[in-house]
Chains A and B, each alone.
Chain A
Amino acid sequence: MDWGSIFSNAAAAAVGLDTVIYALAALGLNIQFGYAGLLNFGQAAFVALGAYGVATMVAIAGLPFGVGVLVGLAAAVVFALLLGLPTLRLRADYLAIATIAAAEVVRLLARSNTLTDYTGGSNGLQGFAEGFYDLSPLSGGSYGFGPWTFSARATWVLLVGWVLVALVALFTWAVMRSPWGRVLKGIREDEDAVRSLGKNVYAYKLQALVLGGVIGALAGFIFALGRASVQPDNYGTAFTFFTYTVLLLGGAARVFGPIVGAAIFWAVLSLTDGVLRGAISAGAIPSALMSTSQVGQVRFMLVGLALMLLMIFRPQGIFGDRKELALDAR
C-alpha cells in the first residue's frame, strides 16, 4: 500500500476545495444553529442559490461574473426572508421539517425539465467560470510545496476560498462579541427571557437566518467556480447533513469549530478512502467483501455513524464548550 500518497492526499484534502466549501457552509450554519439555535436544515438551498446565481447569470443571461455574485447574494437574502418570515415562529422540530422541505423544493425546481432553459435541468450548467479565472493573477505551472501542490487554477480558487473563510471567521468573531451576538446567544439559551427584556426575538432570528444564508451563498460560489459546473443533485439533503456533521465535529458556537471540523472531516474521509482502496488493490480486503465502487458508500456510512456518536457522546464537538450549547431545549 502506498502510504506516502495516501497521507499526502489526506493532507491536500485538509485544505482542498471540499474543505473550503463545507467550512463556509458550516460557518453560515454556525451562526444559525450554533449561536441562534435555529435548526436550519435547508442550508443546501442557500449554497445552491449562490452557485446557480453565478451559473445562470453568466451561462444563460451572458452577464459578467460580478453580476452573478450579486444576484447569488441577493437570491440568498430573498430566500432567507421568504423562508424565515413565515417559519421562524415555529417550534424547533417544525422549523427543521419546513426548512428541509423548502430546500428540496429549490432542488426539485432546479432539476425540473420545465425550467431547463434557465437552470440546465438535471444536467446543470457549465462554462460560466472563465470570468472568475480571468481575474487570477496566477498563470501556468503549479504552486505550493509537498503535498500541497496545486495547479494555477486550483490555487486561485483555494486562495479566494480561504480568504473568504478567514474574513467570515473574523466577522463571526467580531459580531458574536457585540451586543447583537450576545442577544443571539441569549435567544438560543432562553427565548422567553430575551423577549421579556424587550428584544424583538423574531427580528434577531430573521437576521441570523439571512446572515447564515448569505455565507452559505459564498460557499455556493466556491462550489460552482471550483468545479466549473453546477449540478442540482449536489445540493440535496446530504449536503446539509454533511454540513451538520462538520459543524458538530469541530464544535458548534465556536468561531474556528466549522473550519477545523471541515479540515478534519475531509482529511479523515480521504484517509479512509485511500486506505480502503489500497487494501482492496493489495488484496487485504477480499473483493467479495468490498469492491472499489463500494468504498464511496462506506464513506457515507462513516459520516452517519460519526454524526450519531458525536451527538451521543460529545455534542460539543472537539473544541466546543458543553455549557455553551444547550441542545436539550424542549
Chain B
Amino acid sequence: MRTAAATGVGILLTAVALALGASSASAAVVPAPVVAAATPAPEASTAAGTDQAQEPAGEAVLARVRTGEGEDVAGVDVTAVQDGDVAAEGTTDASGSVELAVPGPGAYDIELDVDSLPAAVEGLEPRQNPISTQVEPGQDRTVAFRLEEAGAASADEGRGSLAPVLQRIATGLRFGLVIALAAIGLSMIFGTTGLTNFAHSELITFGALSTYFAQAVVGLPFLLAAVVGVVASAAFGLANDRLLWQPLRRRGTGLIAMMIISIGLSLFLRYLYLYFFGGSPRTYEGYSGQAGVDVLGLGLVRLRPLDLVTMALSAVILVVVALALVRTRLGKATRAVADNPALAAASGIDVDRVIRTVWIVGTALAGLAGIFLGLQQGISYLMGFQILLLVFAAVTLGGLGTAFGAVLGALVVGLFIELSTLVIPNELQNLGALVILIVILLVRPQGILGRAQRVG
C-alpha cells in the first residue's frame, strides 16, 4: 500500500506538471508583469521579508488604480508631488499598477490625473485624491485609488433606502451562488470520505485557469473554453482521488493526517499556478468592462447581463444536482454513503464508485464556480484560496456533509457578506462572515440542516 501511495503521488504531481507545463510557453510569450516583486503577494512576504530589509535604498511608491468592483484600470496618469514639485510620474499598466521611483524618503502626495481616466470607467471618480504617504528609507509604499460612482453616498440617499439594500441582495445572491457551486463538492466529499479538503480552493482556481488557458492560449471561443475548463476540472478531481486520496484511504491514513496532507497539496498547487500563471490578475477576453443594466426597470438594481446569465445558469445547475441527489439511484446511494458508509456498503452499494462520482461532480462544479468567479472579479492564482474560508463557512453553516445545507449556507453567507456592508466598511465584509462561522460553530455546530450529534 505504501508503494501504491508513493507512485500515486508521483503520477499525480507529474500529471499536474504536464498539464501546466504546456502553459509555460504562453508565459514566455506574455511576460507576466513583475508587480509581485514590488508588492509581494501577502504570503510571499513571509519568506521575502528578510531579503527586503537588506535591500539598498531606492524607494518607490506603487500606485494601484481599481474600480469598486475590483477591476484594474490601465492607462491612468499618476504623479508623486513633494512640496508642490512633481517628483515622479507614470501611467498604470494592464494590472492597474504603476511604480513611481521617488528621489528619496519623505512625504509625498500621490495624485491621480482624473482627466486621464479611460472611457470604460466613465462616471467613476477616485474616493480619495490625492493620497498622502510617508516614504521611509529603504521601503516601498503602496497606495490604492478606488474608483467609485461620483457621489456614490449621496446617490444612495437619493434613491431611497430600499435601493442599496436591493442592490446588495442582488450582488449577494450572485456571490452566494458561486460559493454554493464550490461548496457542494467540498461538503459531499467530506460527507462521503470524511476528508476536510483544504486543497478544494485550488480545484476552484484550476477551473478558472484551465478555461483561461483554453481561451487565451489554445484560442477556443469562451463558451467552448468553459466546457473544456469544467471537463478538465472533473478529470483533475478524478486524478486527485485515484492517485492520492484513494490510496491513502486504503492505507487507513487518519482524517487529521489527510487534512494536513491536503494543506500541503494546496500550498504546492497554489504556487505551481503562480509559477506558470504569474502574479498579476487577468480577465477573460471579451468579458471585462461590461456595463451594468437596470434589472427591474426601477433604477433599483444594476447587474451586468453576464451576471444574469451566470446566476440563472448556477441556479439551474444547483436544481439539477438537487434533483439528481433526490431522484436518481446514484444520488440516493450518495446520500446513503454520506449518512453511513459502513451500512451503505453492507446493503450492496459500491462505495468506491459513489466516492468517485462525488469527486468528479464536485470538482466539476468547483471548476465552474472558479470560471464564474473569474468572470466576476478576474482570474488570479489566489482566487480560490481567497474564498476558501467563505466556502468553509457556507459548508459549516449548512451542516458539514449535507449538499442542500451547503447551498443554503452559501446563499446566507453571500447575502450576509453584502448586506453587512450597509453597517460595516467594505474592507471588513469577509470578517463578518468569518465571525459568523465561529458563532455558528458555538451555537449550532451541526449547522442549519445538519443532524444534531456530538461534534465535540
Which residues of B does A touch, CB under 8 Å?
A: 2, 5-6, 9, 13, 24, 28, 34, 36-37, 42-50, 53, 136, 139, 141-142, 194, 196, 248, 252-257, 259-261, 263-272, 274-275, 389, 392-393, 396, 400, 425, 427-428, 430-431, 434-435, 437-438, 441-442, 445, 455-456
Contacts and interface: CB of A to CB of B under 8 A. Distances in A.
A242 B259 CA distance: 15
B389 A89 contact: no
Contacts of A238: 42-43, 46, 267
Interface string A83-113: 0001101111110111011101100110011
Interface residues of A, number: 70
A96 B45 contact: no
A226 to B, nearest CB: 9
A224 B261 CA distance: 30
A98 B441 contact: yes
Given A296-B47, A297-B271, A300-B43, A86 B438 contact: yes
A308 B456 contact: no
Nearest to A290: B275
A297 B277 CA distance: 12
Nearest to A102: B438
B392 A97 contact: yes
A294 interface: yes
A60 interface: no
B445 A304 contact: no
A86 B6 CA distance: 40
A18 B49 CA distance: 10
B45 to A, nearest CB: 5
Interface in A308-330: 308-313, 315, 327-330
A52 interface: no
Interface stretch (A132-140, A177-185, A229-237, A254-262): A229-237
Contacts of B139: 126
Contacts of B261: 307-308, 311-312
A293 interface: yes
Contacts of B427: 108, 112-114
Contact of A313 (B2, B49, B441): B2
A105 B431 contact: yes
B260 A87 contact: no
B256 A39 contact: yes
Interface string A104-131: 1100110011100000001100100000
Contact of B442 (A39, A87, A113): A87
A97 B65 CA distance: 34
Contact of A114 (B50, B136, B428): B428
Given A98-B438, A242-B46, A312 B5 contact: yes
B49 A231 contact: yes
A301 B266 CA distance: 9
Nearest to B143: A123
Contacts of B47: 269, 296, 299-300
Contacts of B259: 39, 93, 96
A330 B142 contact: no
Contact of B389 (A18, A100, A310): A100
A61 interface: no
Given A126-B136, A227-B53, A233-B43, A90 B455 contact: yes
Contact of B270 (A293, A296, A300): A300
Contacts of B196: 93, 96-97
Nearest to B5: A312
A93 B255 contact: yes
A306 to B, nearest CB: 7
B399 to A, nearest CB: 12
A233 B42 contact: yes
Given A101-B389, A289-B24, A304-B265, A108 B260 contact: no
A90 B50 contact: no
The 7 closest A-B pairs by CB, nearest first: A304-B268, A307-B264, A328-B254, A304-B267, A308-B264, A233-B42, A300-B271
A67 interface: no
A58 B47 CA distance: 25
Given A105-B431, A109-B431, A328-B252, A244 B260 contact: yes
A330 B268 CA distance: 26
B269 A304 contact: yes
Given A91-B456, A312-B248, A105 B435 contact: yes
7 contacts: A86-B442, A87-B441, A92-B255, A93-B196, A93-B259, A113-B425, A304-B268
A293 B264 contact: no
Contacts of A312: 5-6, 9, 248, 253, 261
A248 interface: yes
B36 to A, nearest CB: 7
A231 B142 contact: no
Interface string A275-287: 0000000000000
Contact of A309 (B9, B24, B36, B430): B9
B456 A89 contact: yes
Contacts of B442: 86-87
